[in-house]
Amino acid sequence: MGGPANKSVEKSVNASFFKTNPLRLVNLLYYYFHKKELERAMREKVLLLHGWGGSDNPDWQSWLAGEIAKEYGTVSFMEFSDYDFPLLDAWKEELLERLEEFKPDVVICHSLANTLWFHLCNDKSLKRRVKKLFLVAPPSLNSDIEELKSFFPVQTPSDLYSEDAILVTSTNDPYMSMDEARSLKESLNVEMKILQDAGHINADSGYGEWNWILQELKK
């Protein structure tokens, strides 16, 4: 049988191994604490909301959904109906249903999804607050694009139904000027991150992999 003597030998062997292989110990400790950090971060449920035309691969939202899943996180990347010819009432109903089912901690909106979120805030349709809200590349509040006419105009909400929020804009977004972005930031009273020459912050402007937003989720 084994017993205390064998346990003592095992401890001695393990200690000897790490003394002669210190790099192995460092790597194991790094892996352990990094894994624990990711587990803590990825406990939060993340809901990704695309805009007009969807956000299929290679867009950053598709990439981000995959990265969260790789870390065994919980993510929902919903697909709205008729996203090339969207209707506000249909999208509102679909999002409210998903919110009720999924109950996200973090919501990441891109483009027209920001406008959709603003409408729900103004309607006071949202039943619970989220921990973190990302407002990425919202369009002008008074967009006159024919296909999107049911969404506009929209008022700036007085309550975003979020404990924390950040507005992410680009210096050359074709759908919102920097003056509009700064005005929106002030009206919402949120932090703003400005990306240089990032267009509409989508695959067309080089935003397939977007490590910044992944790191934000890991904080």
- State the average pLDDT over residues 121-142: 97
Every domain of the chain and the residues it spans: 1-41, 43-218
How confident is the model over 136-154, as a mean pLDDT? 97
User: Residue 21: pLDDT above 90?
Assistant: no
| Residue 6 Ramachandran class (φ > 0 left, ψ -120 to 50 alpha, else beta) | alpha
* 172 close to 197: Cβ distance less than 8 angstroms: yes
136 vs 219, residue with greater confidence: 136
DSSP class of residue 177 equals -
Question: Is the pLDDT assigned to residue 4 strictly greater than 60?
Answer: no
User: Mean of the pLDDT values across residues 122-135?
Assistant: 97
Percent of the chain with pLDDT over 70: 81
> Is residue 42's pLDDT more than 90?
no
pLDDT at 9: 40
Res. 99: pLDDT tops 80: yes
pLDDT of residue 56: 86
Structure token pair of residue 56: 């299929």
Tokens of 8: 């003592």
20: CB partners within 8 A, 6+ apart:
none
Mean pLDDT of the 146-158 span: 98
Which of the four pLDDT bands, split at 50, 70 and 90, describes residue 31? Answer: low
- Rounded to whole angstroms, how far apart are CA atoms 84 and 64? 22
Q: Would you say residue 35 has pLDDT above 80?
A: no
CB atoms within 10 A of CB 164: 14
- Give the predicted TM-score (pTM) of the model: 0.82
Contact 137, 201 (CB under 8 A): yes
Domain 43-218 falls under CATH 3.30.450.20: no
Better-scored residue on pLDDT, 137 or 24:
137
29 pLDDT band (50/70/90 cuts)? low
Is the per-residue pLDDT at 146 higher than 60?
yes
**% of the chain at pLDDT higher than 90:** 77
